[in-house]
Amino acid sequence: MPRYIFITGGVVSSLGKGLASAALGALLQARGYKVRLRKLDPYLNFDPGTMSPYQHGECYVTDDGAETDLDLGHYERFTGVSATQRDNITTGRIYNNIITRERRGDYLGATVQVIPHVTDAIKDFVLSDAGDVDFVLCEIGGTIGDIEGLPFFEAIRQLGQELGRDQCIYMHVTLLPYIKVAGEMKTKPTQHSVKEMRSIGIQPDILLCRCEIPIRPDEKRKIALFCNVPEHAVIEGRDADSLYAVPLEYHAQGLDKVVLERFGIHDAPEPDLSRWVDIVERVKNPDGEVTVAVVGKYTSLLDAYKSLIEALNHGGIANGVKVNLRWLDSEQFEKPDGFGPLEDVHAILVPGGFGERGAEGKIAAVRFARERKIPFFGICYGMQMAVIEAARNQAGLTDSGSSEFGQFEHKLVGILTEWVKGNEVERRSAEGDLGGTMRLGSYPAILKEGSKVREIYDDGQIHERHRHRYEVNMAYRDQLEAQGLRFSGVSPDGILPEIVEREDHPWFIGVQFHPELKSRPFQPHPLFASFIGAAVEQSRLV
């Protein structure tokens, strides 16, 4: 039976619980253990699929089509273990399942209550489908004391009793603020956070304390005393120079050793951290640098592009260079004099997105990249804008666009109403619900012989993750290919376009899927590795 580690947070949000969970999972993996990571989110949304990136950051999509929290991206990148529908649950899904069962009569007339019905449903989720792993790490979203999180905390408290303390431990991530005026690190917020946990019956076994400066020995003793944890279980968590240095720093602090000791494991092999050392060395000592412009609409909140940022960094690692990202709001390119920030970049990327705002600016940025022969990468919405740009400015279809943001004579992009998934036909309508109705998850694509993407992938068939509601209209394929925009990747039935590329350009590729979701630091996605390689070549020309 697997051992369970529950990761909670206190004082404030955004302390890095997800990153801490991923780093701990990587450390246990490095010792030879099998791990699985899960996220329990207390909000009432069914999933993050309809939530604004400004509120929740990016929506991460798994191979089996789950729209999940961005922390699952951390889990996958750090451990290489692909997440599934069974690895992210919300209050909304829990209550939806319970109400469905109640309406069906499954509870046999019983009064349905938070305890035991909601807490039992949460426990069932935590314990289900664990497989043959050694450790299951469960991160609970939000902070201790949040009213919506109470059923989750009660559920993991009960699991501590039912599983036994040799099968279940609690790690609490908290904040040690440094007051510069007083010149002191304050432990009181951490004390109050732990007091709140203990008031609901959970005694943390490990405290991971986020701080700006080192914790002095007397402060560590004070925290241990007032929070009732061993002194060596008070772990210092300072900001790292690189995301991928976090496992090394937590190991140096003894986090994985304390976890194993708490489970009574004293004969674990020492971790092999050589690949993490290698990655950090590459990040810290690049051979050069390139600048990539990201032309989007959520540029004021970078968590909206978390996986994209990491995939670009992975491309930099693959090429031995540092990737400097220049975040540009696409609306500025709707003005004739707004292109100055693109003049000195080595590559341009237009990422995914939704809605009309900023669309014309993205189209203008695509034209700039095409005419100036600057490496261009369009992802999902970015590919659609590239197709519209070619139609308007090369094929003479001036009144063309997407039905997502207007009525046009030539609907180059329209809503996707039917497609094949496995052996079944999926159908949608414009009037249907928004949540969970997009083309989601992993789908195959066939790559054209002699194309650039086939050379990049070194394969004729690929599988990539999708999240989109609109699709390029293949009726315009011949007109666009006559202008040099080749459809080099399509669905196996030839109906849905997956990739376009330009034959008259050094590196110009648009993809309907989201390759950033499958990029890993140890296995950079081939498209991002090639894209940054093209940026390196461009840097030698300017």
Active site residues: 380, 514, 516
Rounded CA separation 292/341 (Å): 11
Q: Which residue has the tokens 């690189």?
A: 242
Rounded CA separation 39/307 (Å): 17
Q: DSSP string of 351-398?
A: ----SSTTHHHHHHHHHHHHHHT--EEEETHHHHHHHHHHHHHTSS--
Rounded CA separation 112/107 (Å): 8
Which amino acid makes up residue 162? E
Angle between helices 91-104 and 119-127 (to 10 degrees): 110
Q: How many CB atoms lie within 10 A of CB 421?
A: 13
The conformational region for residue 334 under phi > 0 = left, psi -120 to 50 = alpha, else beta, is alpha
Rg, Å, the chain Cα set: 25
Q: Which residues contact 528 (CB under 8 A, 6 or more apart)?
A: 311, 312, 314, 315, 318, 515, 516, 519
Q: Is 230 helix (H, G, I), strand (E, B) or coil?
A: coil
Rounded CA separation 322/328 (Å): 19
| Alpha helices in 31-117, H assignment, sequence order | 53-56, 71-79, 91-104
Report the half-sphere exposure of 124 (CA within 13 A, side-chain side): 9
Rounded CA separation 429/424 (Å): 17
For residue 275, what are its two tokens? 């690949």
Rounded CA separation 407/272 (Å): 58
Is the Cα torsion angle 455, 460, 466, 470 positive or negative in sign? positive
Rounded CA separation 114/227 (Å): 29
Is the Cα torsion angle 437, 418, 516, 503 positive or negative in sign? negative
426, 432, 436, 440: CA torsion to nearest 10: 40
Rounded CA separation 202/232 (Å): 19
- Helix (H) / strand (E) containing 401: strand 400-402
Report the half-sphere exposure of 326 (CA within 13 A, side-chain side): 16
Report the half-sphere exposure of 383 (CA within 13 A, side-chain side): 26
